């Protein structure tokens, strides 16, 4: 007798008892299939949503970069702030955006505004809020770079490359530029109150007239006593080992400006 016959005979003999069990098993199978289909549909939806999000981010990224090349200031500003939003939304695009923005600062743009005053003029004649600084869009990028969130600053793959940038009179107040590369950058007259430049690179950077009030410079590489002596500051500034606070830093900023103006002749415009 085959196993099929045995099974059939067993079913006939126990039909009444097996029918409810079969119904239960069938119901479980139907429910499992339904749940599987729901799970599959949800996964497909999530995959599609992710693909749509990535496509949207890519399109917005491309559009924002195009806006940076516009001749219209409002359009360039729109591109800058769009890139900032994307950098917070997309971890994958964060660092390419940082590289794009720092390149924008390094390259600069021709400005139709009045030329930047010499470092000494800025130091002796103007308060920080009245100083002429970089073009509005460059300053906007510096603001974006300086307010990067702590969690992403820790993930920086490289330093912010601002070497050689013209940052005369720039407002970097309370900005986070830890480990940034400012080699050969012109920071003359820049306002660096409460700015964090820990472990930054400052080889041949111009700091004449820069306001280093409560500035964090611990571990800065390439910073010399000569650079420090040409800046304004106070006892709240943290200098790298081997450097000391200049005597004029013990005086009010107004007196420091006057003292520096006597020690250094006015610079010629570039």
Residue 170: partners with Cβ closer than 8 Å, 6 or more residues away: 133, 134, 138, 139, 142, 187, 190, 191
CA gap 19, 51 in Å, rounded:
48
| Cα–Cα distance, 109 to 65 (Å, whole number) | 15
Domain boundaries, the chain: 117-263
Question: 232: which strand partners?
Answer: 211
Mean pLDDT per 10-residue section of the chain, whose length is 270 residues: 60 63 64 73 65 78 93 96 93 92 84 39 43 89 95 79 97 96 97 96 97 97 97 97 96 92 58
CA–CA distance, 12 with 134 (Å, rounded to integer)? 93
Is residue 152 within a helix (H) or strand (E), and if so which, with residue range?
helix 150-153
Please state whether the predicted TM-score (pTM) of the whole model is above 0.75: no
Strand residue runs (E) in the chain: 211-212, 232-233
117-263: CATH, from 2.160.20, 3.40.50, 2.60.40, 1.10.287: 2.160.20
User: Whole-angstrom Cα distance, residue 217 to residue 152?
Assistant: 21
Per-residue pLDDT reduced to its tens digit, 131-142:
579 999 999 999
């Amino acid at each position: 007798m085959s196993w099929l016959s045995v099974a059939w005979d067993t079913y006939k003999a126990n039909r009444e008892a097996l029918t409810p069990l079969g119904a239960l098993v069938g119901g479980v199978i139907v429910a499992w299939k339904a749940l599987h289909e729901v799970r599959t549909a949800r996964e497909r939806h999530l995959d599609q949503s992710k693909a749509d999000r990535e496509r949207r981010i890519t399109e917005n990224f491309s559009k924002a970069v195009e806006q940076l090349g516009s001749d219209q200031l409002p359009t360039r500003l729109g591109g800058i702030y769009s890139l900032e939003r994307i950098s917070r939304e997309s971890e994958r695009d964060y660092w390419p955006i940082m590289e794009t923005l720092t390149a924008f600062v390094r390259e600069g743009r021709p400005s139709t505004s009045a030329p930047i005053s010499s470092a000494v003029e800025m130091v002796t004649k103007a308060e920080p809020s009245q100083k002429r600084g970089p073009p509005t869009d460059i300053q906007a990028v510096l603001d974006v770079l300086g307010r990067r969130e702590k969690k992403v600053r820790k993930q920086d793959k490289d330093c912010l490359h601002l070497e050689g940038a013209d940052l005369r009179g720039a407002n970097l107040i309370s900005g986070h530029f830890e480990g940034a590369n400012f080699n050969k950058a012109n920071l003359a007259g820049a306002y660096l109150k409460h700015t964090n430049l820990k472990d930054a690179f400052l080889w041949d950077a111009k700091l004449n007239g820069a306001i280093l009030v409560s500035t964090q410079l611990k571990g800065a590489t390439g910073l010399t006593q000569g650079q420090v002596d040409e800046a304004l500051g106070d006892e709240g500034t943290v200098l790298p080992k081997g450097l000391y606070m200049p005597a004029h830093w013990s005086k009010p900023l107004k007196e420091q400006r006057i003292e520096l103006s006597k020690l250094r002749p006015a610079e010629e415009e570039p």
